[in-house]
Amino acid sequence: MNLHAILSILVFSPLLGIAVLALMPKDQEKSIKLVGFLATLPALLISLAAYAHYLAGKHLSDFSVSVEWIHFRGMNVEAPYFAVNYELALSGFQLLLVVLTAVVATLASIAARYVKKEWKGFFMLFLLLEVGMLGVFTAENLILFFIFFEVTLIPTFFLIGKWGYFEREKAAYSFLIYNGLGSAVLLIVIMILFAKTGTTNINILKDILADPSAPVSGDLKLGLLIALLVAFGVKLPIFPLHSWMLRVHVQAPVPTVMIHSGILLKIGAYGLIRFGMGLFPEQFDTLSTLIAVLGVINLLYGAFLAFIQTDFKMVLAYSSISHMGIVLIGLAAMNEAGVQGAIFQVISHGLISALLFFIVGVLYERTDTSLIGNLGGMAKGMPVAAGFLLAGAMASLGLPGMSGFVSEFMAFLGLFKEMPWLAAVGTIGIIMTAAYLLRAVLGMTFGKSHREFTGVVDLKGVEFVPVVVLMLLIVLIGVYPSVLSSPLQATLETIMPGLGG
C-alpha cells in the first residue's frame, strides 16, 4: 500500500469539513456542530492509525512525501534555483505531537457546544486552525513550517476576537502583534539560512550546518539561535514575552483556549527542540546556562504570580508559564533525561491544560464566573466536576502516577546532573506549584460557599467525553510512560549525538 499520501490527507482532512460547512445554511446549529465535530475525526483516526503503524514495528519514514513545489530564482549559475519542496514526514516526536493535536482538536470541537453565535464561521476557522497545527508538526522544511505556522495565526485571531469574552478584541490584537513579531523574527532566520545555503529542508540544513566549511559562521549561528529563542520565546512564552498570553487565556472562548494552551504554545517548544537544538547544537550548548536561568525564572515567576490570582483562569495562565519553564529547564540540561523530560512535559501539559480549561469553561457556562471566591463550595453542587478538577490539579502539580510527575522528575533529573545549583533553586517552583494549585482548587471545591449551587447542573452527557478521555491519557502516561518514551527513542538518538552528550 502506498502510504505517501497519508500525511497530506491527515493534514488537509479538516478542509473537507470546511467545504461541507460552506454549503450548509448558517442557522442550523445542531447539524453544524455535528459536522464540525465529525470533521475532526478523520485526522484523529489517521493519526492513531499512524501510531498503530509505529507500534506494529514499521518505519515512520514510510509516510514521508516530497514533491517539487516552488523554484525561486537562484543567485548564480552554480545554484540556478532555490527549491522549496512540499515535504511532510513524521518522526517519533512529531508523531506524538500530531496525535496530541488530533485528540485535543476533537475534544475541543466537543467543547465548542458552548459557542453561542455564528457557528458556521466558528467551525470553519476552527478547522482551518487544525490544518495549520497538523501542518506545523509534519512540515519537513522551514518555509513550509512557517506557512503552516502563520496559517494558525489568522484563524486564532478571529476565534479570539469574535467569539471571546468581554475584552476579546484587545486580546486578539495582542495575540496578533506579539506572534506577528515572533514570526517576523523567525522569518528573518529562515530567509538568512535559505539565502546562505539554498535549502530549507531541515535534515539537509542540519548536515550543512554541521559542516565547518559551511557559509554560515559561528557568530552568525549564535545570532540565529538567539533570534530563534526570541521567536519561539514569544510562543512558548518565555518571561518577559508572556503578557499577550495571559489576555488570550482569559478572553478566548473555551475550545480556542483548549487548543491554544494545549497545542499552540507547544509549537514554541517544538521549534526550540527541532530547530534551535537540532540545527545549532553547539551554540545551544553555549547558551544552555542562559536557557536554564530563563527556565527557572519562568518557573518561579509563573508560580509566585499564580499564587495571588483571584481568577482561576489567571491561575491556569500563570501555571502554563510556570510549566513551560520546566520545558526550558529540561532542554538546558542537554542530556537524555532532560530533553526527554522536556518533551514529556510538552505533551503532558497539553493534556492537563486542555482538561483544566475545559472544566473552567464548564464552570463559567453554569455560573458565569471563574473567580475562585465565587465558586467556593462547588463540591456540594457539582461533585463530579469538582472531583475531576481536583484530579486535574493533582496531575498538574506532579502527583506520582500521573503524567506531570514523570516529566518534571526527568527534567529536574537532567538539570541536577548539569547545573545542580540552578536545579535546587528551581525546586522551590515545584513546591510553589503544589501550593498555588491546592490553594485555588481547594478554595473552589471545599471553600466557603458564597452562593447557592441549586439549579447548577453537574457534568452531564457529552461533557464527560473530553474530561474522561483526557484524564485517562494523563493516567496512562503516568503509569506507563513508554507510550511516549519508545517513539521518542529514535528522535532522541538523532538529537543527542549532535549534543555530544
Partner 1 sequence: MSFETLSQFNWSVMTPEFIILGVAALLTIMDLFMPKGQDRRILGWIGIAAIAAAMVSVASLAGGAVVSILDDTFRLDSFAIAFKLLLLGGAGLVMFLAVSYEAKDGMEEYRGEFYYLFLTALLGAMFMASSGDLITLFIGLELLSVSSYILAGIRKHNLKSNESAMKYVINGGISTAITLFGMSYVYGLTGSTNLLAIAQSLSGLTDGQHVYLLGLSFLMIFVGLAFKLAAAPFHMWAPDVYQGAPTPVTAFLSVVSKTAGFVIVIRILLTVFGAATTKGPGSMPILLDMQDYIAFIAGATMIIGNVVALKQSNIKRMFAYSSIAHAGYILVALTSLSSNMFYSIWFYLLAYLFMNLGAFAVIQIVTEKNGSAKIADFAGLYRRSPGLAVVMGILLISLAGFPGTAGFIGKLNIFIGAFAGTPHYVLASIMIATTVVSYFYYFGVMTQIFFRPAANEDRFKIPASILVVLIVAVVGSVLFGVMPNIALDFMNNNLDILADFFS
Say how far apart CA 246 and CA 397 lie, in whole Å.
Answer: 20
Contacts of 87 (CB under 8 A, 6+ apart): 64, 65, 66, 67, 139, 140, 141, 144, 201
To the nearest whole angstrom, how small is the minimum distance from the Cβ of residue 222 to partner 1?
15
**173 CA to centre of own chain:** 20
Measured in degrees and rounded to the nearest 5, phi and psi for residue 74 equal -80, -175
To the nearest whole angstrom, how small is the minimum distance from the Cβ of residue 161 to partner 1?
6
**306 CA to centre of own chain:** 20
Which residue, 191 or 442, is less far from partner 1 as judged by CB?
Answer: 191
To the nearest whole angstrom, how small is the minimum distance from the Cβ of residue 148 to partner 1?
8
To the nearest whole angstrom, how small is the minimum distance from the Cβ of residue 368 to partner 1?
22
Measured in degrees and rounded to the nearest 5, phi and psi for residue 71 equal -115, 105
Which residue, 231 or 331, is less far from partner 1 as judged by CB?
Answer: 231
Which residue, 80 or 420, is less far from partner 1 as judged by CB?
Answer: 80
Say how far apart CA 28 and CA 31 lie, in whole Å.
Answer: 6
To the nearest whole angstrom, how small is the minimum distance from the Cβ of residue 82 to partner 1?
6
Which residue, 184 or 290, is less far from partner 1 as judged by CB?
Answer: 184
The DSSP secondary structure of 211-246, one letter per residue, reads STTSSS-HHHHHHHHHHHHHHHHHHTTPTTS-HHHH
Which residue, 224 or 360, is less far from partner 1 as judged by CB?
Answer: 224
Say how far apart CA 144 and CA 85 lie, in whole Å.
Answer: 8
14 touches 94 (CB < 8 A): no
Which residue, 141 or 491, is less far from partner 1 as judged by CB?
Answer: 141
> Hunting for cell 536545579 — which residue is that?
423
264 touches 235 (CB < 8 A): yes
Say how far apart CA 433 and CA 431 lie, in whole Å.
Answer: 5
Q: Measured in Å, how far apart are the chain's first and last C-alpha atoms?
A: 39
Which residue, 121 or 383, is less far from partner 1 as judged by CB?
Answer: 121
Which residue, 82 or 416, is less far from partner 1 as judged by CB?
Answer: 82
Compute CA distances 469 → 10, 107, 404, whole Å.
Answer: 21, 9, 16
Which residue, 85 or 101, is less far from partner 1 as judged by CB?
Answer: 85
**50 CA to centre of own chain:** 20
To the nearest whole angstrom, how small is the minimum distance from the Cβ of residue 179 to partner 1?
10
To the nearest whole angstrom, how small is the minimum distance from the Cβ of residue 28 to partner 1?
16
Compute CA distances 366 → 170, 314, 369, 487, whole Å.
Answer: 25, 19, 8, 40
To the nearest whole angstrom, how small is the minimum distance from the Cβ of residue 80 to partner 1?
9
Q: Across the strands, what pairs with 104?
A: none
Which residue, 192 or 457, is less far from partner 1 as judged by CB?
Answer: 192
Say how far apart CA 87 and CA 362 lie, in whole Å.
Answer: 40
**Residue ranges binding partner 1 (CB under 8 A):** 69-76, 82, 143, 146-148, 150-151, 153-154, 157-158, 161-162, 169, 173, 176-177, 180-181, 184-185, 187-188, 191-192, 194-196
3-state secondary structure of 85: strand
331 touches 339 (CB < 8 A): yes
To the nearest whole angstrom, how small is the minimum distance from the Cβ of residue 251 to partner 1?
13
Say how far apart CA 230 and CA 150 lie, in whole Å.
Answer: 16
To the nearest whole angstrom, how small is the minimum distance from the Cβ of residue 216 to partner 1?
11
